[in-house]
């Protein structure tokens, strides 16, 4: 695949071709909202976007972690797949948050690329690079029981990414 936006934002992802587009471009939400499983509004610590009440209105990793903590996420050491937990990863460049990605029930990861597409990729760090930086924090929360069953059925990597 040779999508110029994916090449510019995620050169490593583009180079491997190990991704799949899962939904079209939209300005309704961004990666931070998408990682929180929200598609109804843009999340960012700004007066022009949604940011959870009581969370510092600043572009710091601590503030982003605090935002996800309001949804039940807690910091964890890595991005490994576990049936009992859903995970997300926060990316930063020079200490400033730039991106977030969420682990799917099948063990892969999903990212919203700015105002562009949503893509599914094999690892969290597959979208790292000069635009988003690298993973600086993994967080997890308990997966609801009904989603544990889905995760078991979809267990990691049953279907290859075309």
pLDDT of residue 1: 47
pLDDT of residue 157: 56
pLDDT of residue 146: 80
Domain boundaries, the chain: 4-153
Here the tokens at position 36 are 């929180």
Residue 12 near residue 128 (C-beta atoms within 8 A): yes
99 sits in which H/E element? strand 96-103
pLDDT of residue 9: 82
CB atoms within 10 A of CB 41: 12
pLDDT of residue 124: 94
Look up the pTM and report it: 0.91
Q: Where are the alpha helices (DSSP H) in 39-138?
A: 61-69
pLDDT of residue 68: 98
3-state secondary structure of 73: coil
Here the tokens at position 113 are 């690329």
Per-residue pLDDT of the chain (162 residues; tens, 9 = 90+): 467 778 888 888 888 888 888 988 999 999 999 999 999 999 999 999 999 999 999 999 999 999 999 999 999 999 999 989 999 999 999 999 999 999 998 899 999 998 898 999 999 999 999 999 999 999 999 998 887 887 777 765 555 555
């Amino acid at each position: 695949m040779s999508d110029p936006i994916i090449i510019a934002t995620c050169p490593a992802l583009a180079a491997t071709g190990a991704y799949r587009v899962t939904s079209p471009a939209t300005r309704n939400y961004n990666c931070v909202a998408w990682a929180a499983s929200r598609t109804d509004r843009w999340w960012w610590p700004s007066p022009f976007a949604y940011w959870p009440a009581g969370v510092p209105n600043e572009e710091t990793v601590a503030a982003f972690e605090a935002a996800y903590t309001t949804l039940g996420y807690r910091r964890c050491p890595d991005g490994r797949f576990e049936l009992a937990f859903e995970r997300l990863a926060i990316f930063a460049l020079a200490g400033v948050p730039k991106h977030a990605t969420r682990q799917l029930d099948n063990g892969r990861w999903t990212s919203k690329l700015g105002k562009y597409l949503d893509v599914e990729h094999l690892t969290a760090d597959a979208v790292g690079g000069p635009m988003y930086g690298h993973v600086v924090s993994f967080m997890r929360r308990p997966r609801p029981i009904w989603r544990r069953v889905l995760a078991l059925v979809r267990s990691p990597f049953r279907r290859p990414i075309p």
